[in-house]
Amino acid sequence: MSASPLPCPRPRVGIVGFGAFGRLIAEHLAPHADLTVYDPQQPVRPPPCVVVADLPEVAACPVVILAAPVARLAEVVGALEPHLRPGTLVVDVGSVKLRPAEILRESLPDHVAILATHPLFGPQSAREGIRGLKIAVCPIRGRSGRRVAAFLRRGLGLDVILTTPEAHDRAMASVQGLTHLIAKVLVAMEPLPTRMTTRSFDLLMQAVGMVRHDAPEVFHAIERENPYAVPVRRRFFALADQLDAELAARGERVDRPSPVLAPVGHRAASPAA
C-alpha cells in the first residue's frame, strides 16, 4: 500500500500596511496563504484570516507585500531592509511604478527579489469580486515575476498585464490622472442632480463614486509622484480653457434677446418704426 502524499504547506505572506487596500489583499489571499500583517496603527479588530505581528516577523515571510502609501515607501523599505532574508520576494502595489521601482532597487540588497505591481482596481470597484479585473505586473529583479503572474491569473482570476514601470506610468497619467482629477472637480461641485439624470451622467457619477473615498495619499501619488501626470494635466486644463473661450465667444453672438416666435400660420408683428 503506497503512502499518502504529504500535504503541501501553505505559503506565508507578509503584508506591511493594513489600510483599506491591505485588507482587500488579505481578503483575497487568505484562501491561498497564511498571512502575517504589520501596521504601525495596530488593527483594533483584525480579521481571523491574519496574524498581527511586528515588522521583523513580517519580514521573515518568503513574500512581503508593501501596501503602504507611496510617499512613505522609502521610510518603510528602510525599516524593513535589515530584517529581510536572502531569496525573499518584495512586492509593491502602489499606484505609480517608476519611483517605487527606483526606491526598491536602490534600497534592497541584491539577494532580495523585487516585483512592482499595480492592481487596477480598489475596494469600491472590487466589491463584487476581483475575477476579471486587471493588474499591471512589472518584474524588477529576480525570476519570480512569471510565477506570480501565473498565480494571479489562475488562482485569483485576474487579467495580468506584463509591462514596465515607464510604460505603466505613461498610461496611468491619463487613465488614473484624468479620472481622479475630474472626480475631484465634480465632488467639489456637489450637490449635483440625482433624480433627473441621463444614463451617461449616471455612469459618470458611478465612476466618481469608485474613487471619491480613496485616501488623499492615493490622489497625491497619482498626480505628484507620476512624472508623466503634469503634462497630461496641463494639456487637459489648456483644452478646457480653449473650449471655454470658444463657448464664450459664440455666446456673445447669440446671447441677444430673440424675437418671440409667432404661432404657426401667423406672421410675427413687425417692429415698431
Residue 124, pLDDT above cutoff 80: yes
Q: Would you place residue 47 in the very low, low, confident or very high pLDDT band (cuts 50, 70, 90)?
A: confident
Residue 88, pLDDT above cutoff 70: yes
Q: Across all residues in the chain, what is the average pLDDT?
A: 90
Span 134-159, mean pLDDT? 96
Q: Would you place residue 261 in the very low, low, confident or very high pLDDT band (cuts 50, 70, 90)?
A: very low
- On whether both 21 and 152 belong to a single domain, the answer is yes
113 in Cβ contact with 89 (< 8 Å): yes
- On whether both 186 and 236 belong to a single domain, the answer is yes
Task: Report the percentage of the chain scoring pLDDT > 70.
Answer: 88
Q: How far is CA 249 from the centre of its chain?
A: 39
- On whether both 234 and 126 belong to a single domain, the answer is no
Determine the Cα–Cα distance for residues 190 and 211; give it in Å rounded to an integer: 15
- On whether both 69 and 155 belong to a single domain, the answer is yes
What strands, in cross-sheet order, belong to the sheet with 89-92? 50-52, 34-38, 12-16, 63-66, 89-92, 113-119, 134-141, 159-162
Any domain includes 264: no
Span 262-269, mean pLDDT? 45
**CA-closest candidate to residue 132, choices 151, 170, 159:** 159
Q: Would you place residue 42 in the very low, low, confident or very high pLDDT band (cuts 50, 70, 90)?
A: confident
Any domain includes 83: yes
Residue 242, pLDDT above cutoff 60: yes
Q: Would you place residue 5 in the very low, low, confident or very high pLDDT band (cuts 50, 70, 90)?
A: low
Total count of domains within the chain = 2
Span 41-55, mean pLDDT? 84
Sequence-distant (6+) residues with CB within 8 A of 89 are: 62, 63, 64, 112, 113, 114, 115, 142, 144, 148
- On whether both 155 and 47 belong to a single domain, the answer is yes
Q: Would you place residue 46 in the very low, low, confident or very high pLDDT band (cuts 50, 70, 90)?
A: confident
- On whether both 35 and 129 belong to a single domain, the answer is yes
Least confident among 40-49, 127-136, 183-192, 200-209:
40-49
- On whether both 157 and 233 belong to a single domain, the answer is no
- Beta carbons within 10 angstroms of residue 265's beta carbon: 5
- On whether both 37 and 105 belong to a single domain, the answer is yes
Residue 255, pLDDT above cutoff 80: no
